[in-house]
């Protein structure tokens, strides 16, 4: 089981499992995504963790699922499973659906085990709405880490969430060149990691009115960006 968003060490207890549909969709003609929500309660009964597995739903498009994840970004872990592709024969189709349901159940069982094993069974902190500059900078740093660590549709949702944060932050505090920071998130590899780190350091320097430090950091950023594709 590979997380696009979230980690095995610290599951939230609220999981979206999804797959792309190739060809016929058994739930809804034309639907391109099948998704289900799995919720694990940490209010355990003895050694049992109550689990609710919602029936799978069909979504018209990849964009629909991305929008759902973005609008509720901090609530979900996200796991993608292999594409659903219905075989041609009826007998094969029945066998295939059973196989996929068994696989889905195995994902649920594995997720519940991860929730049971979560250290201390403590709840991950809920992110509050940013208020002052420090709140925005903390949110920016936390979300940039999530962008770099996520993949697939979850990464796209992370970037869309980042765009919303950048838009709000830059509107209130235009002294930070946040749109250039947003572009740095798209730079791959170690160069991207270094750029993002330098931008965050520069923003921190500006917030504490250490303008000479901010200028030195900006020179380092410009040197990297001048040779980056």
Q: Is residue 39 one of the residues assigned to a domain?
A: yes
Weakest-pLDDT range from 39-43, 146-150, 191-195: 146-150
**For the segment 13-57, what is each residue's pLDDT rounded down to a tens digit?**
999 999 999 988 888 888 999 999 999 988 888 778 899 999 999
13 and 97 belong to one structural domain = yes
Q: Same domain, yes or no, for 114 and 152?
A: no
Q: How many domains does the chain have?
A: 2
Q: Are residues 60 and 137 in the same domain?
A: no
Give a yes or no: residue 128 inside a domain. Answer: no
> How confident is the model over 206-220, as a mean pLDDT?
91
User: Which of 64, 99, 120 finishes a domain?
Assistant: 120
Residues 139 and 223 in one domain: yes
Same-domain check for residues 214 and 151: yes
Mean pLDDT of 204-213: 90
Residues spanned by the domain of 153: 133-227
**Average pLDDT value for residue range 49-77:** 91
Residues 149-171 pLDDT 10s: 888 888 888 888 888 888 888 88
**Position 121 confidence tier, pLDDT thresholds 50, 70, 90:** very low
Alpha helices (runs of H) in the chain, residue ranges in sequence order: 62-71, 90-117, 133-149, 152-172, 178-184, 189-207, 211-227
**Distance, CA of 68 to CA of 58 (rounded, Å):** 13
For range 95-113, the mean pLDDT: 93
- Domain boundary pick from 120, 143, 163: 120
What's the mean pLDDT in 186-206? 89
> Is the pLDDT score of 125 beyond 60?
no
The residue out of 98, 120, 142 marking a domain boundary is: 120
pLDDT at 127 over 80: no
Greater confidence (110 vs 7) lies with 110
Q: What is the arithmetic mean of pLDDT over 59-65?
A: 93
Could you tell me the pTM of the whole model? 0.69
Above 70 in pLDDT, residue 229?
Answer: no
Q: Are 10 and 91 within one domain?
A: yes
């Amino acid at each position: 089981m590979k997380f696009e968003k979230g980690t095995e060490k610290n599951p939230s207890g609220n999981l979206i499992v999804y797959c792309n549909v190739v060809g016929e969709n058994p739930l809804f003609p034309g639907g391109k995504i099948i998704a289900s929500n799995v919720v694990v309660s940490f209010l355990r009964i003895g050694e049992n963790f109550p689990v609710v597995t919602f029936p799978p739903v069909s979504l018209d498009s990849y964009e629909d699922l991305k929008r759902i994840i973005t609008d509720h970004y901090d609530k979900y872990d996200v796991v993608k499973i292999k594409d659903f592709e219905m075989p041609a024969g009826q007998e094969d189709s029945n066998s295939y659906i059973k196989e996929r349901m068994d696989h889905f159940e195995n994902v649920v069982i594995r997720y519940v085990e991860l929730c049971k094993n979560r250290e201390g069974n403590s709840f991950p902190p809920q992110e509050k709405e940013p208020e002052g500059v420090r709140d925005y900078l903390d949110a920016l740093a936390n979300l940039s880490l999530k962008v770099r660590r996520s993949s697939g549709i979850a990464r796209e949702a992370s970037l869309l969430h980042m765009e919303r944060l950048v838009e709000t932050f830059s509107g209130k505090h235009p002294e930070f060149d946040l749109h250039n920071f947003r572009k740095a998130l798209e730079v791959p590899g170690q160069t991207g990691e270094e750029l993002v780190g330098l931008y965050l350091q520069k923003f921190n320097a500006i917030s504490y009115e250490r303008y000479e430090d901010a200028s030195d950091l900006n020179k380092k950023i410009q040197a990297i960006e001048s040779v980056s594709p």
